[in-house]
Amino acid sequence: MTGNQFGEYQKLKAEGTYKIGADIPTITFKEIGRRGVRRYDGYEKASGKAIYTRDIQLPGMLYGRVLHSPYAHARIKKLDTSRAEALPGVRAILRYDDPEFKGMKLTGSIAAPTKMAPEVAGWALKPVKDILGDLATFEGQMVGVAVCAETEQIAVEALKLVEIEWEELPFILDAEEALKPDAYVLAPGAQSNKLEETRELIEQGDVEKGFEEADEIIEFTARRHAHLWAGAEMPCVVARWNGDRLEMWVHEQQPYLGKLILSEQLDIPMNKIHTHSPYQGCSFGERCNPPNWHQNGINTIAVLLAKNAGRPVKLLLNRAESFYGESGDMMVSHFKVGAKKEGTITAVEIKSTFAQYMCTPGIEHFIDNTRIPNLKCVGITADVSKAPAWWCRCEQLPNTFCFTLVFDHVATALGLDPTEVALKNDGCEGHDISYLTEYKGEHGFPDRDSLRECIEAGKKAIGWDGKWHPPGTLKLPNGRMHGMAFTWSHDWDDVRGTGSAAVLIQNDGTVSVIAQHSDVGVNPWTAYLQIVADELGVRYEDVEINPFDLNQGFSLMSPDGSCNLCSNGFVVKKAAQKARKRLLDLATTKFEGLTANELDIKDGIIFEKSNPKNSMPIKDVVMFAAPMLNAVEIWTEPPVLAWAWHTHGLWGQALETGRPRMCRQANFTEVEVDTDTGEIRVTKVVNVNDVGKAISPETIEGQMYGGTYMGLGRAVTEEMAWDPNTGVLLNRNLLDYKYATMLDYPPAESIIIETGLGHGPYGATGIGEDTATMIPALIGPAMYNALGIWIDEFPITPARVLKALGKA
């Protein structure tokens, strides 16, 4: 966001032309909110028919592979590709010193391609900027050479035949080491390993004053080690040239942004790039933000290989090569918190050091979510010899990490029930809950206390009042120590995306939603079709979407930041409402003497409101509304087609004081700890989410129980481990990088609360990222409750438990 653009938003706000309030439904729900709606993608996915980028095969297609650095920090001094070139079946080789690549940097930023956001270009990419350079800044970096061949096997063989003379350079793995004054400086030309960051200091109120007002000062330090996405479908891309026209198949959350950036980078007119976005085997942020090295890089390499070889190329990364990043929460944080005896927090100060990338500073949930008046957050980011860090379901991880640990440390230090401490501090931007009550009244929202509702439901489900006990006091008959914990936060109200879609009534009365959209598994299309069906007044099974083709002109907001439904729900709703209006206007020509206001549509039948027997199926109304027919002998009418666009702009305070976060969530857990082995057994998780309005309840639950597994993996087992002697990542596979299986944890209980307090369509709010982000830190206080010892180092592995117990 540049200063100028922000000014535009402020102007809109001042003029009162952009007002945000509750989205009150104007229709009766039939499909929206109903359980048992058939999943749109279900059959394809269950039957193996769903096509992902990795499944694409084209006539004459070659296979591309890229060299990945074996060293943590090294430069290529000499490169001999002659033996690889001579290998039969090799069709093209690209080298870092080829004219196509020489000096080619990643372009664009998180916001947009360079041309749209020059000030922040490269923002997401530090410290890696070369697409295929001669310098490797971490082990596993794409570097030096790319090759394509008749088979993947030949391409792999060819890379083995490349002779490289490396100059090994010093490496640093630890952020605090990297920031020492005498540390070796990793990036060429840099003065130090401290990375530029605009969010180094966030301050509100006066923390020193807050500490003076406090009865207790609580101080502690916490660490989070590296983890990553490890999505199901490994990165891949297919590129095919047809003359000067380029066709792409991408495993990518944001194909339009990817196309913009590719166009800018290789100077290809945008209308000559035809992009397909097949099904996506996970993403979690991994396959988002095309300016990132692992996307912009492989896309560009594939396009150039295809051009050189004159044949289509599928470029593939294997599983080991897919460990090319980390979540942006590799951090160590020092906390100082002031609190009154009864649980009111007076000040929070956080000082953090991040490795590679501070995906969020850690203080934002205190701002958005509490009445705490004095906040200070200092965050420094260090360059280390690891892959670039990025958002990982989701960028709120540092915020929820700090929020959970602060609240639970305060509650335990004061000997209070953490649910009480939460309720005492609930609020918004330093104001207490009455501020939100007032806002709700002014903006048409119901007056409900979301946090209290979530806590009450969760406490009941887990049996909190009967079970909650002082720390380290409950030894179970099986010999293990029992622990419980609670955390909370706001919803993910990310109604911030931009999208467009069209609704077309086909000549037989069925309905097509026209828009590209990348699905990462959150069942979005079912929800869009539910909305279109209800808004139009047609049956759910009569609505279809073909979201795999970007060339159809409309593109829905990518699934970033839980934006899927909150943004796109508005888009398809608007488009359906417009199409309905066109349809009814056309219907007035068939219902003599009636105006559109006197007509209604239900189950695909148009009828006179005051005399429902006077009716006609939609197909009879659109009988002659066809885009292409022989119009010599047949009368035709324009097709019933309407498109819409929607944006909410920034979340938070950008547009008016208020778009405060009003929905809350509460997460509870129970654990058992074996003090001899350090083993942690999570026996129960209860997630309570106020989603505002549940459009597809089963989908919401899927995000809640599904996110629990990812969250618990991050809490207990998921950790990337580097060899301190070589800087090499040791667990580049899914046996040694351990995430949850079905046998590891019991199913979580999912409780949906619907207060209508979301800013999304019909009062909905986001759910895709909440649980996976909330759960990891929750295991910290659960362990404290079990053992009476804080283990503030995540993941909390058995080794760390034993160390804390003084047994290792």
Partner 1 sequence: MGEETRKYLCPYCSNTLDTFEALKAHVVKEHKTEPLPPPEGFIRLTVNGQTYELKVEAEWTLYHLIHEKLGLTGVKMFCDRGACGSCTVIMDCRPILSCMTLAIECDGKTIETAEGIAKAKHPLIESYIKHHTMQCGYCTPGFITTAKALLDRNPDPTEEEIREALGGNLCRCGTYPQHPKAVLEAAKKLKKE
Q: In the bound complex, what is the minimum distance in angstroms from residue 157's beta carbon to partner 1?
A: 10
Q: In the bound complex, what is the minimum distance in angstroms from residue 525's beta carbon to partner 1?
A: 12
Q: Is position 64 an interface residue for partner 1 (rule: CB under 8 A)?
A: no
Q: In the bound complex, what is the minimum distance in angstroms from residue 138's beta carbon to partner 1?
A: 20
Closest CA to 250 of 46, 460, 85, 52: 52
Cβ–Cβ < 8 Å for 758, 693: yes
Pick the piece of the chain touching partner 1 (CB under 8 A) from 92-100, 459-467, 618-626, 693-701.
693-701
Nearer to partner 1, 314 or 661 (CB): 314
Q: Which secondary structure element, helix H or strand E, spans residue 461, and what is its range?
A: helix 450-462
Nearer to partner 1, 44 or 216 (CB): 44
Nearer to partner 1, 688 or 801 (CB): 688
Phi-psi region of 89 (alpha: psi -120 to 50; beta: other; left: phi over 0): left
Q: Cis peptide leading into 127, omega within 30 of 0?
A: yes
Count interface residues toward partner 1 (CB under 8 A).
Answer: 58
Alpha-helix runs per DSSP H in 31-151:
42-47, 82-86
Task: Name the 3-class secondary structure at 432.
Answer: strand
Pick the piece of the chain touching partner 1 (CB under 8 A) from 48-56, 164-172, 433-441, 576-584.
48-56
Nearer to partner 1, 597 or 741 (CB): 741
Residue of 165, 551, 747, 799 interacting with partner 1 (CB under 8 A): 747
Nearer to partner 1, 699 or 755 (CB): 699
Residue entry with tokens 């000559």: 272
CA distance 456 to 229: 33
Would you state the structure tokens that stand for residue 75, as one six-digit string?
Answer: 């430069």
Buried b (16+ CB within 10 A) or exposed e, 662-689: bbbbbbbbbbbbbbeebebebebbbbbb
Residue of 698, 752, 788, 793 interacting with partner 1 (CB under 8 A): 698
Q: In the bound complex, what is the minimum distance in angstroms from residue 556's beta carbon to partner 1?
A: 17
Q: Is position 520 an interface residue for partner 1 (rule: CB under 8 A)?
A: yes
Residue of 284, 293, 324, 486 interacting with partner 1 (CB under 8 A): 284
Nearer to partner 1, 48 or 593 (CB): 48
Phi-psi region of 634 (alpha: psi -120 to 50; beta: other; left: phi over 0): beta
Residue of 710, 715, 753, 801 interacting with partner 1 (CB under 8 A): 710
CA distance 262 to 119: 19
Q: 132-161: which residues touch partner 1 (CB under 8 A)?
A: 153
Q: Is position 721 an interface residue for partner 1 (rule: CB under 8 A)?
A: no
Residues 203-242, one symbol each (x = binds partner 1 by CB under 8 A, - = not), give: ---------------------------xxxxx--------
Residue of 328, 343, 509, 702 interacting with partner 1 (CB under 8 A): 702
Q: Is position 776 an interface residue for partner 1 (rule: CB under 8 A)?
A: no
Nearer to partner 1, 226 or 502 (CB): 226
Q: Cis peptide leading into 454, omega within 30 of 0?
A: no
How many angstroms separate the first and last alpha carbons of the chain? 49
Residue of 22, 31, 54, 290 interacting with partner 1 (CB under 8 A): 54
Closest CA to 250 of 296, 199, 293: 296
Closest CA to 782 of 536, 483, 366, 453: 483
Strands 142-149 and 90-95: antiparallel
CA distance 474 to 468: 10
CA distance 728 to 730: 6
Closest CA to 320 of 412, 262, 235: 235
Q: Which secondary structure element, helix H or strand E, spans residue 313, and what is its range?
A: strand 313-316
Q: Is position 743 an interface residue for partner 1 (rule: CB under 8 A)?
A: yes
Pick the piece of the chain touching partner 1 (CB under 8 A) from 338-346, 589-597, 740-748, 759-767.
740-748
Would you state the structure tokens that stand for residue 449, as one six-digit string?
Answer: 């206390």
Q: Is position 42 an interface residue for partner 1 (rule: CB under 8 A)?
A: yes
Alpha-helix runs per DSSP H in 122-246:
152-161, 175-178, 207-213
CA distance 742 to 543: 35
Nearer to partner 1, 435 or 705 (CB): 705
CA distance 800 to 445: 46
Q: Is position 766 an interface residue for partner 1 (rule: CB under 8 A)?
A: no
Nearer to partner 1, 478 or 741 (CB): 741
- Eight-class DSSP state of 310: T
Residue type, 459: K
Q: Is position 58 an interface residue for partner 1 (rule: CB under 8 A)?
A: no
Q: In the bound complex, what is the minimum distance in angstroms from residue 518's beta carbon to partner 1?
A: 11
Q: Is position 546 an interface residue for partner 1 (rule: CB under 8 A)?
A: no
Q: Which secondary structure element, helix H or strand E, spans residue 364, and what is its range?
A: helix 364-369
Residue of 7, 10, 24, 43 interacting with partner 1 (CB under 8 A): 43
Backbone angles phi, psi at 524, to 5 degrees: -75, -35
Residue type, 726: T
Q: Which residues pair with 606 in a beta bridge?
A: 601, 616
Residue of 705, 726, 731, 788 interacting with partner 1 (CB under 8 A): 705
Q: Is position 51 an interface residue for partner 1 (rule: CB under 8 A)?
A: yes
Pick the piece of the chain touching partner 1 (CB under 8 A) from 38-46, 294-302, 394-402, 436-444.
38-46
Nearer to partner 1, 133 or 521 (CB): 521
Q: Is position 473 an interface residue for partner 1 (rule: CB under 8 A)?
A: no
Residue of 4, 17, 630, 742 interacting with partner 1 (CB under 8 A): 742
Strands 245-250 and 273-276: parallel
Pick the piece of the chain touching partner 1 (CB under 8 A) from 51-59, 382-390, 540-548, 785-793.
51-59
Q: Which residues pair with 642 in a beta bridge?
A: 503
CA distance 102 to 423: 58
C-alpha 229: how far from chain center: 10
Phi-psi region of 26 (alpha: psi -120 to 50; beta: other; left: phi over 0): alpha
Cβ–Cβ < 8 Å for 640, 575: no
Q: Is position 741 an interface residue for partner 1 (rule: CB under 8 A)?
A: yes
Residues 308-347, one symbol each (x = binds partner 1 by CB under 8 A, - = not), give: ----------xxx---------------------------
Nearer to partner 1, 211 or 705 (CB): 705
Q: In the bound complex, what is the minimum distance in angstroms from residue 522's beta carbon to partner 1?
A: 7
* CB atoms inside a 10 Å sphere around CB 439: 18
Residues 641-670, one symbol each (x = binds partner 1 by CB under 8 A, - = not), give: ------------------------------
Residue of 17, 28, 57, 478 interacting with partner 1 (CB under 8 A): 57
Q: Is position 45 an interface residue for partner 1 (rule: CB under 8 A)?
A: yes
CA distance 555 to 259: 12
Q: In the bound complex, what is the minimum distance in angstroms from residue 704's beta carbon to partner 1?
A: 9
- CA of 606: how far to CAs of 227, 619, 621, in Å? 55, 10, 8
Q: 244-283: which residues touch partner 1 (CB under 8 A)?
A: 279-283
Q: In the bound complex, what is the minimum distance in angstroms from residue 774's beta carbon to partner 1?
A: 14
Q: In the bound complex, what is the minimum distance in angstroms from residue 567's beta carbon to partner 1?
A: 20
Q: Is position 48 an interface residue for partner 1 (rule: CB under 8 A)?
A: yes
Q: Is position 169 an interface residue for partner 1 (rule: CB under 8 A)?
A: no
Closest CA to 461 of 224, 685, 308: 685
Chain residues binding partner 1 by CB under 8 A are: 36, 38-39, 41-52, 54-55, 57, 153, 230-234, 279-284, 318-320, 519-523, 698-699, 701-702, 705-710, 733-735, 739-743, 747-748
